[in-house]
Structure 1
């Protein structure tokens, strides 16, 4: 391109007025996709991409590597260069390699077309490369014309033995749909269907969960048992409330741990009562391991219309300047030694900071960054807030003083929970330490936009924890047989 000035240097200033005039009619709008600028090396509001921005873009240094590193830090792991020939892919790969020397990062860069290879075959090859690196690809859009004459649905091919997965295909569960059974589809991975009760304005949700259908749950084991995390119970309550027009989980108390068996399904029933005069509804969650077992109530709570007033947003400067970094390396190994075996999607803590209590009475706070691993990110869009991600948001609590002595705690009761955005795969977190076992939680996405706030969360040691974890133990009742007959005149034996 013939030009008579050097871009990204002082010579651009000679055409400043000409450039601002030529671009004056640009009317930028806000984008739905996060936009990282190579001028600022951070996310920017695309509503501000006016003529002045594009002049600055041409005048200032191109901060390409800084922007690539910012994307990596925000949890993005796949870069696709959309161009007629790869030009920036090598530079991105160099930035990934440099960043990987400082942190545990897995990322890749792919192109689309190439010089002299601009046909469908080249594009599909690039698409396959992206798929191999974890991109979600809708292959049916490509295969639909070829499969037009097919008589049945496509099925996945068997996996290889060394992939340590079942080789044989699972038989279809059945052909009956929820609608065919008189139910409505709950459209959630943990809830299968819902039915409005005929004699009251209540709703019954049903579902089945298992380690086969939701293998990511196996990453949450406490003292040898795989437990449905409390964050999953909260997700169920949030979804049920949303279905009945109640945007706030006013309270939710966990009554009994829900242990997931190694094989087989666990049946769920979530009962939402009819509303009271104020619109609030009680709910209860039951489960049983099979059709012959009795139902166990695992949680009860209340959902309410509207949403709680949002907590103050996270600080604009991230992390806050007065927050001290906390070491997170080795945390999950330490937790495993104390009986909390987190793995897979639950190993989401990326960084943590601590700010001490302030003289004005503000409590101590923890700040953290958490993200789902690349293999679990595709699931995030199916949940309001992925339970593994919210669970990881609570892991910094294990870093504060005293957590090792008390053996660790799990969510027990939630209050004032409101969800403001869905589908997040990475979070910024603030934990306000309100007292022993009490915390308030605010979570935002990687751009700082509010996702959810929890006004109160009480944590307790899990069942079976050492006695000192829950306070002084009651003395046990021990029955000892009498060694001599009790008489009216003699003293009573020492029991």
Structure 2
């Protein structure tokens, strides 16, 4: 969700929703009871009449109330985000929604920010420029104390703020170059040295508040990165946030890298939506959707946005949405359909891949391959289901059957082999691939043409079968051909001084953490610790519902190897925290057909694992220079599952 900043306000914003949806009205009235004691006039009066709405002291509280109420309405319809970010005052809204600030504390901070800004001298200017940050920075040399970049809104659009003479001089130079410039209609030079006069008092107010851990990941527009540690949770952060540059473009790139493809603007007008489109574009099925637009009927605009979200696989609670409306169920015909066949008669010959112009991929998880005409590219297609790949049913995370990341790694390596790219340089897993209990999922693995260095881009997409929904990008990475890796051996086994970890209740412990492993993944035989390093013996259980035929390295065997680290570190993560491997670097397969492994897992300073896998003689089977993990949210899994269910 993208929360709009100042400039989107207009008279009557949100009032159609207020009179149509009780959930919106209740949320707005609740917020107003916290804001009104700090304001010169009731918030409802400000918005409905427009009286002093464009004064900063009223603008920011009005935007906050409208956006929070709109979010609460969407929440009643079952629409919740995976990530949050906000532009300027919109970031304060995002902080409240994420749980960092209670409603009372958020209202205190919003009104203090607005009031202190309003009381500053109305000098200075803000000018939007068609330019990049790199082009503007040299012009600011020597002016740092009275002119800055206030916001970077897209790769070629930013705003400077501060001293009017210096800003006009820079704008004039760009105009001479044929660049677009526009002086903004604002009361103050926001996000500039002109804010310095309020920083002490604002910091004092912010220091009186209580900050909590976010319950929804939030991307900071102060840093442009995913918030970690104390980001958004200190008075210093919020003081810096109102004074420094809004790095909206970088925040969007962070979200895009995290795999976000649907950006929904929460605000009274579509101001961030075009900026998002200009920054991210429409690649990979990406869409930016505005929930409201100034000058258009609010209910119609919002429901149009909801329909677009539904078409993109976002689950909607239709029962709640239609509550208090005139919508009714339309009964289907009760009579039987005519039993007359119109099926085309087939020849009775079952087509294989070659009949369709494809070549068999010769791999258990990749059904067919086609070389793209006129390009050195290959596309692999497949279908995964619990019927065709029953061993996947044994990998249950947060009560859902997930295709393990190790399976995506295996498919990527096999795809690279087809083109002689034997090293998986990197693979980022962007979101879970959930298998439904019935039916299947279509998968495509695309390998692009080599660049100048011979590296090829790789992408893994999926979508439910028989569903007219966009493809989901589950993973992306790069393949290359490089010489042999530095040799290693695990001949001395177990290593001298290693301390064995009991396995009596190993899988009960893993289940507590959220990993419910069936028989195929219960191949841990021994686990040892030596300092921070973990060693293990693993195997594919005898009589399990799969064999190693056709695999380079069976995904269940590699997943079991990584599980040794979870078991050895049991108790170091909060109960219920589920980690999945997301970032793989320098994956090399040295031998195929292994059903037993010796495993060495060595964490680096950042917690990523260096992985060495050997056969029972200690000879190399595979190596991974780095596997990094992140905690997975329940919402990620449920949203992916809902995508399978909520289709016609």
TM-score by length of 2: 0.43
Query: Does the alignment pair 1:439 with 2:609?
Result: yes
Other-structure match for 1:179: 354
The reply on whether 1:405 has 2:580 as its aligned counterpart is: no
Note if 1:305 corresponds to 2:474: no
Deviations 1:429-478 (A, max 9, x none): 00011135410000011221110000010011122289xxxxxxxxxxxx
CA distance in 2, matches of 1:446, 1:404: 32
Q: Secondary structure at the match of 1:260?
A: coil
Q: Deviations over 1:144-174 (max 9, x none)?
A: xxxxxxxxxxxxxxxxxxxxxxxxxxxxx97
Does structure 1 residue 424 correspond to structure 2 residue 599? no
Tell me the CA shift for residue 310 of structure 1.
3.4
Deviation at 1:312, TM superposition (A): 2.5
Q: CA deviation at 1:401?
A: 5.8
> Matched residue pairs, number?
286
Query: Residue 296 of structure 1 is aligned with which of 442, 462, 472?
Result: 472
* Distance in structure 1 (CA, Å) of the matches to 2:629 and 2:380: 27
Preserved CA contact (<8 Å) 2:509 2:570? no
- Structure 1 gaps, min length 5: 1-172, 357-363, 467-495
The answer on 1:389 being equivalent to 2:565 is no
Counterparts of 2:483 and 2:393, CA distance in 1: 33
2:623 matched residue in structure 1: 453
The alignment status of 1:196 with 2:371, answered yes or no, reads yes
Distance 1:277 1:443 in 2: 32
Q: By how many angstroms is 1:422 displaced?
A: 0.5
**1:172-205, CA deviations, whole angstroms, 9 ceiling, x for partnerless residues?**
x971111111111100011011011013111100
Using a 3 Å threshold, how does the CA distance of structure 1 residues 241 and 174 change in structure 2: closer, same or farther? farther
- Report the CA distance between 1:265 and its aligned residue: 1.5
CA distance in 1, matches of 2:582, 2:538: 21
- Structure 1 residue 377, shift from structure 2 partner: 8.2
8 Å CA contact 2:391–2:546 kept in 1: the answer is no
Per the alignment, do residues 276 and 174 of structure 1 end up closer, same or farther by CA in structure 2, a change over 3 Å counting? Answer: farther
Point out the structure with the larger helix share.
Answer: 2
Native 8 Å contact 2:390 2:545 kept in 1: no
How far 1:220 moved relative to its partner? Answer: 0.6
Q: Structure 1 length as normaliser, TM-score?
A: 0.56
What is the CA-CA distance between 1:299 and the residue it aligns to? 0.1
Counterparts of 1:63-462 in structure 2, within 5 Å, are 175-291=350-466, 292-307=468-483, 309-310=485-486, 312-314=488-490, 316-356=491-531, 364-376=532-544, 379-398=547-566, 399-400=568-569, 402-405=571-574, 407-462=577-632
Mapped partners of 1:174, 1:437: distance in 2: 55
Deviations 1:402-447 (A, max 9, x none): 5443624211110000001011001000001113541000001122
The 1-side partners of 2:388 and 2:614 are apart by 29
Does structure 2 conserve the Cα–Cα contact (< 8 Å) formed by 1:196 and 1:204? yes
- Root-mean-square deviation (Å): 1.9
Deviation digits for residues 202-256 of structure 1 (CA, Å, limit 9, x no counterpart) = 1100001100000110111111110000000000000001111001000000001
Instruction: Indicate conservation of the 8 Å contact 2:454/2:481, yes or no.
Output: yes
Shift in Å, 1:313? 1.9
Shift of 1:302: 0.1
Classify 1:427/1:279 alpha carbon distance in 2 versus 1 (closer, same or farther; 3 Å).
Answer: same
Q: Secondary structure at the match of 2:634?
A: coil
Q: 1:320 to 1:245 in 2, by over 3 A?
A: same
- SS of the equivalent of 2:550 reads coil
Question: Deviation per CA, 1:320-370, whole angstroms, max 9, x where unpaired?
Answer: 1111111122111111122210111111111000111xxxxxxx2110000
C-alpha contact (below 8 Å) 1:310/1:453 kept by paired residues? no
Distance in 1 between the 2:362 and 2:353 partners? 11
Q: Is the 8 A contact 2:391 2:545 kept in 1?
A: no
Q: Unaligned regions of 5+ residues in structure 2, if any?
A: 1-347, 637-648
